[in-house]
A = this chain, B = another copy of it.
């Protein structure tokens, strides 16, 4: 046991693992809140099974002195809540892992597994206090101690956290936490554990949200006042968040009978003057495609939050992937323009979702926000947000008598009116139509309308968000990523410490910003990194820039890249000679 490094500095990966429905969530919430309040940078992410009880789920909490919101393989401290949990994370356990387990509760553990196991008898303690339910607070108290959180602070927070419970329950939880705190003190002393992470008091004021909340907040900032969706992991978080906020922010939130209804309701809502969105995932989105095409021909704004998970079919419902890029890009029959955004950081998710509404309203097109399970379920502290600068503009006109919904204009955009506002009638049609919106079979009008819709692309490209270059301009090798991989690639890149390598992150994947080609041209070697087996973004870049992509780093087992894996794979790939 002497090997276990009992002193950990700056960056700790703590993993709690146990079966579904057994309170990981409570431990996690208490602990991360306490950590953040105490001035640590905190990042949390989870992987879980598609079931309600049983199985093995795990949450990684990364506590660090600088912001490091990305997944680690390494586990510094593991708290397995049951024996299966140990097996579940086996591959990630090394001799450097400190395992805090209730030996008695576990029963006999085989020799190898037992190595490094530090006994932490929380079951007995919990039942002494009043039942198994108090185990969570004991574990939370233990971890609070390990991270050196002030006991007073902890106690104050617990009062607040349990404030809606009965006095007795509050008291017992306080006792439990204190018990954990106490046990931990003994362990710390006996084992000589010392965690040393610099604190930044201002972090206490930071915002602390996950990806789903970021999208939801962005939607509200973008003026979203109508949401129609059908539950589907991992997109449901946004539905839940906006439903909770519906009353406060004047949002109609409706659970539709199916995804087809959801997307068609959304279009009806935009037509009548709302700012509407849907939130969905792969298979649910597939059902919406006819509706997306309807938005295309109607030139209706539409905002689609598409939270990716591994397909095909039902695939792995609670796992992560970046496999729906091409699905979104080519969704819906017929040719029509669209925008696809793919945030890599929480702030980006907030601002891009807000902007999705503005862009949808301006160009009268569908705008996608592509996230994934990893992104929506991960959270960390971020500094404050600013919305004042970019509020909803008047994108709806009061119509005149002679209003024609599809007036042919130079930039392809026809002023949008809504029924009941102005003297005109608003006619919108899923058939090819004339300027007034009425059905037509005039083949020249058809061409005029296709061209009009397509002309929007000129301004859309101008409005595209540029990719973000990380590193110096002087690169030979360019790492390219999009969406949720941003923090992981960035961290792995910085660990590489190579000046000749830069990283280009795309948060808008379609249409691509005009500078894209220039960025790629400068590189001698281009490596695209993404979470699917088809290298979809690589294809898109090839097609758009007509330049070669030399290597791809792909992952499609349902998990996000970890920093370690990314670092290894980058090292392997960067110096491959073609």
Binding site for B on A (CB under 8 A): 49-50, 55, 260, 282-283, 285-287, 289-290, 293-294, 296-298, 310-317, 319, 321, 323-324, 326-327, 329-336, 429-432, 441, 443-444, 446-447, 450-451, 454, 532-534, 539, 542-543, 546, 548, 556-559
Contacts and interface: CB of A to CB of B under 8 A. Distances in A.
A444 B91 CA distance: 12
Contacts of A330: 326-327, 329-331
A150 to B, nearest CB: 40
A316 to B, nearest CB: 5
A312 B326 contact: no
A59 B232 CA distance: 50
A483 to B, nearest CB: 16
Contacts of A431: 50, 313-317
Given A432-B310, A542-B543, A332 B286 contact: yes
B334 A323 contact: yes
Contacts of A315: 297, 333-334, 430-432
A260 B282 contact: no
A430 B441 CA distance: 42
A315 to B, nearest CB: 5
Given A283-B290, A441-B49, A441-B50, A313 B327 contact: no
Contacts of A534: 335
Nearest to A321: B334
A353 to B, nearest CB: 21
B326 A311 contact: no
Given A293-B311, A298-B313, A335 B532 contact: yes
A317 to B, nearest CB: 7
Contact of A557 (B447, B454, B548, B559): B447
A85 B556 CA distance: 59
27 contacts: A260-B287, A285-B333, A286-B293, A286-B331, A286-B332, A286-B333, A287-B290, A293-B311, A293-B313, A294-B313, A297-B312, A311-B332, A311-B333, A311-B334, A311-B335, A312-B335, A313-B334, A314-B432, A321-B334, A327-B332, A335-B534, A335-B556, A444-B557, A446-B558, A447-B556, A542-B542, A543-B543
Contacts of A548: 546
Contacts of A49: 441
Given A311-B297, A314-B431, A542-B546, A333 B450 contact: no
A559 B542 CA distance: 32
Contacts of A542: 542-543, 546
Contacts of A429: 313-314
B334 A312 contact: yes
Contact of A556 (B285, B324, B450): B450
A126 B429 CA distance: 42
A266 to B, nearest CB: 15
A401 to B, nearest CB: 27
A197 to B, nearest CB: 31
Given A286-B289, A335-B532, A450-B556, 13 more contacts: A283-B290, A283-B293, A283-B333, A287-B290, A289-B289, A296-B311, A319-B441, A321-B334, A330-B330, A335-B533, A335-B556, A454-B533, A546-B548
Given A49-B441, A542-B543, A294 B310 contact: no
Most B CB contacts (10 A, CB to CB) among A49, A548, A558 go to A558
Contacts of A55: 441
Nearest to A451: B533
A475 B432 CA distance: 40
Contacts of A447: 556-557
A550 to B, nearest CB: 12
A287 B441 CA distance: 25
A165 to B, nearest CB: 34
Contacts of A556: 335, 446-447, 450
A315 B449 CA distance: 11
Given A329-B330, A543-B539, A446 B282 contact: no
Nearest to A55: B441
A443 B558 contact: yes
A532 B334 CA distance: 8
Contacts of A317: 431
Contacts of A444: 557
Q: A286, A298, A323, A336 — which one has the most chain B CB atoms within 10 A of its CB?
A: A286
A540 to B, nearest CB: 9
- Please name the 5 residue pairs, one residue from A and one from B, whose CB atoms are nearest each other, closest first: A311-B334, A312-B334, A297-B313, A282-B333, A296-B312
A115 to B, nearest CB: 25
A49 B439 CA distance: 12
B543 A316 contact: no
